[in-house]
Amino acid sequence: MMLYRKTASSLLLCLVLGFGAVAQVSVTNGDGATLEDLQREEALVTIILKGSNAPDHNLRITGVYETTISVVTLDGVKTAYPTSLVGEVRVQDGRVAETRKRSREGALSDEELVLVTRAGVRAMELFEATKNDQLSRMAAALAVSASNHEDRSITLRYLQELAGGNDVPTAVLATTYLYLAGIPPDEDVLSEGFLSGNRDARAGAATLAGLTRNETYLPELRTMLKDPTIEIFPPAAKAIGRMGDRVGLPELYEAIRALRDAKAESAVFALSRMGGEEVKLKMQEMLRTSKGLEWFRVLRVLFALGDEGARDIMKTDALRQPAYQRTAGLLVADAGDWEGTLFLREYLEKAEDPNLENLLFRAEVGATLFLGGEGRAKLVLQELINMRASQIYARGKTGDDNYKRDTAKMVQVNALRRVGATGARELLSLLEGAVESTDVDVAITACTAAVEISNPEFGARLREARL
């Protein structure tokens, strides 16, 4: 991890130069706080050595002594700085600074290229082996089409044939896969989808129109937004949100109060995407009068819109309520606030039943912490990818082998998707075994994740489509 290497190198410099005499250390951005105050409040700080332009971010002071300052990194690495060499201790604003992992740029290494190439080849093998399973074959075709496989034209042609077929739901899905692979959608297929009496086709058309920001179909989407069914309203709401069509705001405000989670969550998504002063003021008004789950949904919209009051409430209130703390922890940590990171780190240390709900959340925690700069979170994802049926627990189902096997598979697939969604080339090695899995779903997901990481444009489209 870069932070560890930087801190270790700074310590080496200190040891080489010697400890020196007692020196006065300047504390900046701390409103008069002393080093002891920062230690007591466990504040995040940046330490800058004299004559150095390489600050060490995201440290917490664990001890202030006559000649040294002891600190610990986010990864738990302990070190110390001679006070004579510390030029400045800068108090951070509570956010984790500059640790969000980004995939390395440039060409793939030889090892990475071998794995990604194998993922494309394996996806083609799965495409050929799933002729009697259309959905799996389409998923394999997508992975090949987005890869650098030399015969990707075969899978593109297969998807294009489906897109031109008479089965409208299948045509819309194939057209969506083509879009994800980089092929612009066929307008005729979109039109047929919106006109279809099939709910899946209409929902798929709404999703694709939203992903491509195709405002031609705003009238149809506005009509769909008045349909209360969970098959139609959510994709229409998300499309409206992606396009920023404020005509639908009244319906979205009402939907956030819905009893059905799918409908309410799509409103949270749409309002968060749409934003604007009007939405913020409405959400602030609703926050004062709402309770329970409705309150938390409204709070999440405000948090997404950068409302400082919502940020504080999320950390001081929602993060302490059992019903909301998991989601709040992920949001706060992803925003770079230490409180969320600490909650997630403590969660991983707890002994939780290895059931489906807890294991799915564990994957979210692992991915979030990894992106937040905690390299050891990679081990969490690795464990989940290697999950076995014998490790699964569910009350009343301890002897149900089929349930445990299906649950283990869901955990593996979810973890693989999380790995792909990070876009981090550092995690490619986790996919090697799963790419070769005899389970078709696991193998296709692993192949797709590898391609997602190696093809940033495809990865961006795929991640947006999953929201």
d(CA 199, CA 351): 43
Choice among 71-75, 219-223, 304-308 with the minimum mean pLDDT: 71-75
Across 157-179, average pLDDT: 98
Q: Band of the pLDDT at 17, cuts 50, 70, 90? A: very low
Distance CA 273, CA 326 (A): 22
pLDDT of residue 75: 67
Mean pLDDT value of segment 118-140: 98
- For the stretch 382-423, pLDDT in tens is 999 999 999 999 888 888 999 999 999 999 999 999 999 999
Average pLDDT over every residue of 331-343: 93
| pLDDT exceeds 80 at position 13 | no
Cβ pair 126, 133 in contact under 8 A: no
Dist. CA 421–CA 31, nearest whole Å: 40
Helix axes 199-211, 168-180, angle to 10 degrees: 20
* pLDDT (0 to 100) of residue 12: 38
Residue 58 and residue 318: Cα distance in Å, rounded?
A: 24
Q: Which residue has the higher pLDDT, 103 or 425?
A: 425
Q: What is the pTM of this model?
A: 0.81
Q: Output the average pLDDT for the chain.
A: 90
Q: What's the chain look like in SS3?
A: CHHHHHHHHHHHHHHHHCCCCCCCCCEECCCCCCHHHHHHCCCEEEEEECCCCCCEEEEEEEEECCCEEEEEECCCCEEEEECCCEEEEEECCCECCCCCCCCCCCCCCHHHHHHHHHHHHHHHHHHHHCCCCHHHHHHHHHHHHCCCCCCHHHHHHHHHHHHCCCCHHHHHHHHHHHHHCCCCCCHHHHHHHHHCCCHHHHHHHHHHHHHCCCHHHHHHHHHHCCCCCCCCHHHHHHHHHHHCCHHHHHHHHHHCCCCCHHHHHHHHHHHHHHCCHHHHHHHHHHHHHCCHHHHHHHHHHHHHCCCHHHHHHHHHCHHHCCCCHHHHHHHHHHCCEHHHHHHHHHHHHCCCCCCHHHHHHHHHHHHHHHHCCCCCHHHHHHHHHCCCHHHCCCCCCCCCHHHHHHHHHHHHHHHHHHHHHHCCHHHHHHHHHHHCCCCHHHHHHHHHHHHHHHCHHHHHHHHHHHC
- What span, in angstroms and rounded, lies between the C-alpha atoms of 353 and 376? 21
pLDDT of residue 105: 61
Could you tell me the pLDDT band of residue 14, with boundaries at 50, 70 and 90? Answer: very low
Q: Under a CB-based contact definition with an 8 Å cutoff, are residues 241 and 272 in contact?
A: yes
Residue 54 pLDDT class (50, 70, 90 cuts): low
Q: What tokens appear for 2 in the block?
A: 């870069």
**Percentage of the residues of the chain whose pLDDT score is greater than 70:** 91
Provide the β-strand partners of residue 64.
69
Report whether pLDDT(85) > 90: no
Does 16 have pLDDT greater than 60?
Answer: no
Backbone angles phi, psi at 403, to 5 degrees: -60, -45
Q: Does residue 6 carry a pLDDT above 80?
A: no
Q: Is the per-residue pLDDT at 286 higher than 50?
A: yes
pLDDT score for 344: 96
- At the top level of CATH, the class of 2-91 is mainly beta
pLDDT in tens, 211-267: 999 999 999 999 999 999 999 999 999 999 999 999 999 999 999 999 999 999 999
Least confident span in 58-72, 162-176, 235-249, 368-382:
58-72
The pLDDT-based confidence of 104 (bands split at 50, 70, 90) is low
**Average pLDDT in the 102-116 region?**
80
5 has a pLDDT exceeding 50: no
Order of strands, sheet of 27-28, starting from the edge strand that comes earlier in the sequence: 27-28, 86-91, 44-49, 56-64, 68-73, 78-82
Query: What tens digit of pLDDT does each residue of 308-324 get?
Result: 999 999 999 999 999 99
Distance of CA 129 to the CA centre of its chain: 31
Return the pLDDT at 388: 96
Give the pLDDT confidence score for residue 53 in this predicted structure. 55
CB atoms within 10 A of CB 353: 12
Domain boundaries of the chain, sorted by first residue: 2-91, 110-128+352-460
Q: Is the pLDDT of residue 367 over 50?
A: yes
pLDDT at 21: 36
